[in-house]
Amino acid sequence: MTTTAAPTDAPADPLDVPSVTARHYALAVLSLAMGGFAIGTTEFVTMGLLPQISAGVDVSIPTGGHVIAAYAVGVVVGAPVLAFLGARLPRRALLVALMAAFTVGNGVSALATSYEQLMVARFAAGLPHGAYFGVASLVAASMARPSRKGRAVSQIMLGLSVANVLGVPAATVLGQELGWRAAFWAAAGLAVLTLAMVVWFVPSCPGDADATGRRELGAFAVSQVWLTLLAGAVGFGGMFAVYSYIAPVVTDVAGLGERAVAIYLVSFGLGMVVGTWLAGIMADWSIFRSLIIGGVGMAATMLAFWVAAPHGWAALPVVFLITTLGSVLVVNLQLRLMDVAGDAQTLGAALNHASLNIANALGAWLGGLVIAAGWGLRAPALVGLALSLAGVAILLVSARLHVRQREVVPT
């Protein structure tokens, strides 16, 4: 069935129409979301296979956690650089190039024979991550009515969420049975599928012909951009402090078997799906209030996880709530950056995932630090509590600054 981005009900505002028409809107969205599925699989399966990966390259689990950080650093570097360089390029072609680079990065990861090689390979695999989500979000928004922009972006993010329900647990079991390298080969295969789907179903979408280096870099002159990035980098770090070390917590603290790790990962993923769906609805109500709710809720669930972790399956619903609230935060951070970046749309959209992967690196590093200091495997949850509250504090500073300076229209 052929559809366009506009829903079946006619918009009341004649200006509330898509700027790009997709012949098969559902398939175009699915294609973009498939990229998120591939990216989510490779990003988060490292947490589930951390013991196997660490043993495979002959390092300790805290040291192996740096592999997670290497991918995150790649995202942080690649998101602004690739978005800056590609702002004028046709967006479909840019998506294809980014996914091709992602395929190569995962293939090299699977072939790595030492810790040092794996660190470099994971850094390379992370480079296209943020730019892909930024450009895909812009394409999705252009195919949707402006009044449905939040829902359109959340649909793309659903690929990342569903990866944590299907892709990550499946790749985790695959890695446990066939070796951790098999998980990275699987991610490379998903990337190839995404590349083909984008070529076939995503409509041609021009780049920003007026983009200039000066205009794109102008986003960095907006204080609300910096505060939003900082809120994401710090506040969302709480989730990664817990998620990065979920495998040893499940087996060594909760006293469950290795196979229980995959079940916990499914719970994480289901929370992401529900949270991403909920985030699109909440964004239509208030982006900023949704951010506050997500941050405060994450802080509360971090404390709950610290209490529940030693009690076997008791922590399972808690991890669902952690990622539900975390996903509300992620989608609304994306939308806020797209709003406050002004004319620097490509760079602004891509910066969200740079921020979130600083959170990834920060959470994994601080979590490993407290474990190595002898505070126990539950200690990263308290780190997550502190980071979540710090993120809320930054958002409140942002709100106060808005009232004083009126830099952007609140949403």
Q: Residue 24: beta bridge partners?
A: 3
| CA nearest neighbour of 236 among 301, 295, 153 | 295
H/E element holding 275?
helix 260-285
Confirm if 246 and 385 have CB atoms less than 8 A apart. no
Phi, psi of 13, rounded to the nearest 5 degrees? -95, 120
Phi, psi of 247, rounded to the nearest 5 degrees? -60, -55
Sign of CA dihedral 119, 73, 275, 348: negative
Q: Residue 3: beta bridge partners?
A: 24
Q: Where residue 19 falls among pLDDT bands split at 50, 70, 90?
A: low
**pLDDT tens-digit map of 332-371:** 898 888 778 766 767 777 788 788 878 877 888 899 899 9
**pLDDT tens-digit map of 49-63:** 888 998 888 888 878
What is the pLDDT, as a whole number, of residue 147?
67
Residue 158 in tokens: 């659903």
At position 230, the amino acid (one-letter code) is: L
Q: Where residue 212 falls among pLDDT bands split at 50, 70, 90?
A: low
**Rg of the chain on CA atoms, in Å:** 20
Alpha helices by DSSP H, 286-378? 287-308, 316-340, 345-372
For the chain, domain boundaries:
25-405
What is the pLDDT, as a whole number, of residue 410?
46
CA 234 vs. chain centroid, Å, equals 14
Average pLDDT on 144-160 reads 78
* Superfamily (CATH H level) for 25-405: MFS general substrate transporter like domains (1.20.1250.20)
- List all residues 6 or more positions away from 71 whose beta carbon is below 8 Å from its beta carbon: 42, 43, 46, 122, 123, 125, 126, 129, 357, 360
What is the pLDDT, as a whole number, of residue 408?
47
